[in-house]
Structure 1
Amino acid sequence: MDYDTIILLATSLGLGLLVGLQREYSGHPIAGIRTFSLITLFGTILGLIAQASENYWIIGAGVLAVAAIMLMGNFLKSKTGNVDIGQTTEVAGLLMFGLGAYLVEGSLAVGVIIGGITAVLLHLKGTLDDFVKGLEKKDIKAIMQFAAISLVILPVLPDREYGPYEVLNPQEIWLMVVLIVGLGLGGYFLYKMLGKDAGTITNGILGGLISSTATTVTYSNRSKDVPSISRLAAFILITASTVALIRIIVEVAIVSPDNLGRIAPPLLTVLGLMIVLCVAMYFLSRRNGDDNEEVEEMPEPDNPAQLKTALIFGALYALVLIGVAAAKDYFGQGGLLIVSIISGFTDVDAITLSLANTLNRGGIEVDNAWKYMLIASFSNLAFKGGMAAVIGSRKLAKYVLPAFAITIVFGLLVIWWWPTGG
């Protein structure tokens, strides 16, 4: 018995049932659970026949046959006035036929992913429609600008090293720009989906996704104007900084996944403490009945996909790359301490990505890389704590400064005591 073929047919049937279930549930008159199952199996059977006969034109004939059946179905339904003028189900039918044929010689894992994505996209029709209707002109502009940054500019940049220490690779630098702009754009559209009044916890999370520094400035100013929200503002600031540390872990996972197993544990240890501080600050504010009305509204962030923003980050990242290379050349790996502290004041992303790429090139030890990443994040915490103390109310400083100080001291102890050598 050919178990591989049985698994292939079972996978084809399962994906057809999944997509067909969604179409049946949506009440589409053209095709439902049985039709989609048969279409997907039809594609797989023709794929097997084509493979055995080495005549792949038969798959093209199958596409024409499915398209003709869909057209005939629409024509007959139009006679009764019961027809959906949209083309979603028809395109989905052709896709599932193609997917069934692909499974014969392609990857089952890829086929399952495509089938799952198809079912989810069909099911999210209403949600996606509402999302698109809620977009403004500037939101479409943000999407198009990100497309230009990632799909137009990135492919044409040279993939070779230039400049001092030959560490400036235009394509690599711009790839880091795409990563950071993409993360910011994700936070921006999450804000658009959740709205301005998403709640205190969500404000802190969004603040960390978009910009923890901007969030610190915003809510420090607000606490100065309305001192009664100082505890809640402190919670938002601490939460935003906690999410900023999660960003570091995500960036390492994307840029240097092979080293994530060594870098993540100490960072997660510090993250655990910060989460505890967030929870404690939240319950402290709730227990004291702080005024929540004035803090709920999250200010709308700027478009993170602006070309000017991308160029600024690209230039900053390039400077950090040169700084890391120069510090290592003149002072050894210990010189990276100063670079991490200075760059951490303004932007933790740039030094994190620079260290991750330096690690990939073998220019730094993995145990030193995560230490300098943490030091940069502590430098950023100190900078934001100073802003909160200067800009915000005394009550805000009373809660933010001890929380940040505890985090920094604990983090330095982690750096000091964490076992090295993997």
Structure 2
Amino acid sequence: MIDFLNNINPLLVNFILVVLFSLSLGMERRQQYETKSTKQTFGTDRTFTFIGVLGFLLLIADPSSKIPYLFGMGVLAVFMLVFYIFKAKKEEHYGMTSVLLAFITYGFPLFLSTASIWLSLLLFVVVLIMAGAKKPLRNVSKEIADDEFLTLAKFLIITGIILPILPKEDIHAYIPVSPYKIWLAVVVVSAISYLSYLLQKYVFPKAGLLLTAFLGGLYSSTASTIILARKSKNHDEHPKAYTGAIMITIAMMYLRVYILLMIFMPSIIRLTLPYFLALFIISLLVGIFYYRANHNNDKLETINTALEDENPLEFKVSIIFAGLYVLFSVITNLVLTNFGESGLSLLSIVVGVTDITPFLLNLFQGHYQVEHIMIAIATFQVMASNNVLKAVYAHIFSGEKTKRYIWKAFSIIIVANIIAVIVLYFL
């Protein structure tokens, strides 16, 4: 079978792909025309197939010259111009989709002959999807807020403009990290938060409590804990459901930190995987247990559980994050220099009452002479400490009935986290 596939003439493969691509576009055009009242149709399945085949034949007619192919393109351009002028005068409609698709169809054989097969297939898929996605795209564009394009522009600025121009040399002996690594941390965290933000706002705008917990935990487990706790005050008849949702945000914290670890310090992902996996599963099971133990879960679907719209790409937030990153870099370096690994262990516990992400990313990226096992211990200690802080937040902000279950649920996770730290100490 493999020998047979290897012996197939590449021209035959290209011809088949050209026919399939052209025919698919033509069928899509026919479907679009049949849903409209217009009679000014340029062509459908057969016409587009003939255009693709014509482009293929003229391309291979003289392999050493593209003159026949370019001549055919000129003839096609004349026909398309006549059609477009007639259509615009007759219907006063100036859409160019059919014209552009006709040129793409004609150009596909040339693209196929110069690009790799996977890139040609990617073009195939993208054009087909975009050709038939007019109505869905129009509906999506109506839902997108005006400032979302500005948000996207900010993301492109911090990733494609600022990051590449930053120096990669360490700032100072007391700050053993480069501006490039600092901003790379900002970019990665912003990307994860931005993805969660987009899913929450546009893909699942009316998400139920559980889905809100999953997405919110990926965005920020601390912020989600506070928001869900506050919402539980207004819906205190569902204390176990909100307790379960908060526990799920904790599970997503473990997943989020492990993703960051895989990106910035893959050398210890095997060492830490069993502990992250165990804590993720325990947190998830505790969350699901409490959620399922709640009465009248069906009524939760009518509650607006969406997290507040907070732009995760504000430059002020990025600058604060970068500042915290540098601060933790200085503190971590000083602690290691003066107190060694025991100082780092104590520091990780103290840092848990702050924003732990800058500290962890600095730890994962830093050039510190610290054993991998110590970095793993510090990572789990800072998360355990941070869970205590979130338990306090949840207790302060949640409703009276929800408070009865908060500490019970958090105790299970905190104890499991501490056990993981103890096991790592004995390795």
Corresponding residue number in structure 1 for 2:115: 106
Corresponding residue number in structure 2 for 1:310: 318
Q: Measured at CA, do residues 330 and 133 of structure 1 come closer, stay the same or move farther in structure 2, by a change above 3 Å?
A: same
Corresponding residue number in structure 1 for 2:395: 389
**Quick check: 2:391–2:410 contact (8 Å CA) kept in 1?**
yes
* Matching of residues 13-412 of structure 1 within 5 Å: 13-16=19-22, 19-27=25-33, 29-30=41-42, 32-34=44-46, 52-53=63-64, 55=65, 64=74, 67-75=77-85, 77=87, 81=91, 85-95=94-104, 97-98=106-107, 100-165=109-174, 167-194=176-203, 197-255=206-264, 263-285=272-294, 287=295, 292=300, 295-333=303-341, 335-358=343-366, 368-412=374-418
Structure number with greater Rg is 2
Once the two structures are TM-superposed, the CA of residue 184 in structure 1 deviates from its matched residue by 2.3
SS in 2 for 1:292: helix
For 2:384 and 2:176, locate their aligned partners in 1 and report how far apart those are by CA, in whole Å. Answer: 26
SS in 2 for 1:345: coil
SS in 2 for 1:137: coil
**Quick check: 2:177–2:365 contact (8 Å CA) kept in 1?**
no
Once the two structures are TM-superposed, the CA of residue 380 in structure 1 deviates from its matched residue by 2.2
Moved more, 125-134 or 14-23: 14-23
For 1:399 and 1:106, locate their aligned partners in 2 and report how far apart those are by CA, in whole Å. Answer: 60
SS in 1 for 2:312: coil
SS in 1 for 2:95: coil
For 1:278 and 1:119, locate their aligned partners in 2 and report how far apart those are by CA, in whole Å. Answer: 42
For 1:418 and 1:13, locate their aligned partners in 2 and report how far apart those are by CA, in whole Å. Answer: 61
Once the two structures are TM-superposed, the CA of residue 387 in structure 1 deviates from its matched residue by 0.9
For 1:398 and 1:357, locate their aligned partners in 2 and report how far apart those are by CA, in whole Å. Answer: 40
In structure 2, runs of 5+ residues without a counterpart are 1-6, 35-40
Once the two structures are TM-superposed, the CA of residue 113 in structure 1 deviates from its matched residue by 2.8
For 2:329 and 2:50, locate their aligned partners in 1 and report how far apart those are by CA, in whole Å. Answer: 56
Q: Measured at CA, do residues 86 and 78 of structure 1 come closer, stay the same or move farther in structure 2, by a change above 3 Å?
A: closer
For 2:342 and 2:76, locate their aligned partners in 1 and report how far apart those are by CA, in whole Å. Answer: 66
Instruction: Provide, for residues 332-361 of structure 1, a one-character-per-residue CA deviation record: whole Å limited to 9, x for no partner.
Output: 555443343344433343234334434xx6
Once the two structures are TM-superposed, the CA of residue 155 in structure 1 deviates from its matched residue by 3.6
In structure 1, runs of 5+ residues without a counterpart are none
For 1:32 and 1:419, locate their aligned partners in 2 and report how far apart those are by CA, in whole Å. Answer: 70
Q: Which amino acid aligns with 1:341?
A: I
**Quick check: 1:96–1:115 contact (8 Å CA) kept in 2?**
no
Q: Measured at CA, do residues 276 and 105 of structure 1 come closer, stay the same or move farther in structure 2, by a change above 3 Å?
A: same
**Quick check: 1:340–1:376 contact (8 Å CA) kept in 2?**
yes
**Quick check: 1:46–1:59 contact (8 Å CA) kept in 2?**
yes
Moved more, 323-332 or 213-222: 323-332
SS in 1 for 2:300: coil
Identity %, equivalent residues: 23
Q: Which amino acid aligns with 1:26?
A: Q
For 2:386 and 2:280, locate their aligned partners in 1 and report how far apart those are by CA, in whole Å. Answer: 15
| Aligned residue pairs, count | 415
For 1:59 and 1:368, locate their aligned partners in 2 and report how far apart those are by CA, in whole Å. Answer: 66
Moved more, 323-332 or 152-161: 323-332
For 2:101 and 2:223, locate their aligned partners in 1 and report how far apart those are by CA, in whole Å. Answer: 44
